[in-house]
Amino acid sequence: MRILFATTHTYLPQRVGGSEASTHDLAKEMLAQGHEPAVLCGLSTGDSTWLRNRVIKGISRKHFPADTFRPYRVFRGYEVGAAAIHEVAASFKPDAAVVQAGHPVPLARALVAAGIPTLLYFRDVVFDRLGGEIQSHPLLRFVANSRFTAAEVERSFNVKAEVIPPLVHSTAYATTRRPRYALFINPVASKGLETVLELAKRNPDIPFLLLESWPLGDEARRSLTRQSATLANVELRRPTLDMKNVYHGARLLLVPSRSPEAWGRVATEAQFSGIPVLASKIGGLPESVGHGGLLVPPSAGIDAWHQALRRIWDNPEQEQALSRAATEYAARAEIRPERLIADLLSVLGQIQPLPPPPSTPKV
């Protein structure tokens, strides 16, 4: 089966976030099972991916040419919309599509208009960025990355979404550890940057690693650099695809999100290496963290976060117990790749292609 994953966002390596990592892992697992995936995505300027795209575009005369430096094709271009769907569908000829992230609704409409069975995969609950109203169609189904997300989708749109958690390949993240620092991934305000910086200020004996994920503008990066420079125990790193190296030194993972997370993929990644997670009890995080960490109520202040951090850092028995629980929780059947692919294909299989229009009798 040929499956097209479509988003208006940029994609790896230009954007390194949970949605992109999950799509990459899905694509790799589908390849392993004999399917042919591809990705349609946006394009940003000024890096080697952009330069490569310009060269391929000049040769192919396509607005959305495919690069193949990954084991599957990635079609990149500007303003991903109906025209992009038309061009890529004509070239790739997908049997089905999955739209997600960015503004997925216009993409879903274009795909079903082209007769392509489509899944709209809800990976967050920021519904004002969908790009339009959710409308039913015989070729459209819905999936969500957590029970929390599915409940929010049903409450907001009165549609049911099958729950399929993000696919995370343990081989890309599991590593032996030399625990040294408290790890915080994606240092932006909505993910709890203010909380982490205050924890670093209150705990000068604890090293903190802040790893960039989402693209930061120049001003945001300058501000983050200034803030972290005032704290001797804080290291700031640029985005990387080598997450094993990052988790190798992590003693615990901080996820103090201020707004509801639909899932919290980094919790699953960390738990493959037995890393305890200290997270907000909000959104889908209780599902992704499970008993492999501690949860802090969203209404709690910085004192509660400080106490929870010291409870793990200063108590080896507590830390080891949470580490064992994290490893155990990461091995649960419901997030194993083979099951997630089977569930995804099962939902796609429920979509019946529309019959061809009746032929016009010859006169």
pTM: 0.88
Q: What pLDDT score does 22 carry?
A: 87
Does pLDDT of 48 surpass 80? yes
pLDDT, tens only, 246-284: 999 999 999 999 989 999 999 999 999 999 999 999 999
Chain-centroid distance of CA 214 in Å reads: 11
Instruction: Just give the CATH number of 2-164.
Output: 3.40.50.2000
What is the rounded (10 degree) CA torsion for 196, 198, 201, 205? -40
Cis bond before residue 353 (omega within 30° of 0): no
C-alpha–C-alpha distance, residues 54 and 57, integer Å:
5
pLDDT, tens only, 175-222: 999 999 999 999 999 999 999 999 999 999 999 999 998 878 788 888
Does pLDDT of 69 surpass 80? no
Question: Could you check whether 2-164 and 171-333 share the same CATH topology?
Answer: yes
Compute the average pLDDT of residues 323-334: 97
CATH class of residue range 171-333? alpha beta
pLDDT, tens only, 116-159: 999 999 999 989 889 999 988 999 999 999 999 999 999 999 99
Compute the average pLDDT of residues 22-50: 94
C-alpha–C-alpha distance, residues 161 and 264, integer Å:
18
Domain boundaries in the chain? 2-164, 171-333
Q: What pLDDT score does 362 carry?
A: 52
Does pLDDT of 363 surpass 50? no
Give the H or E element holding residue 253. strand 250-255
For all residues of the chain together, what is the average pLDDT? 93
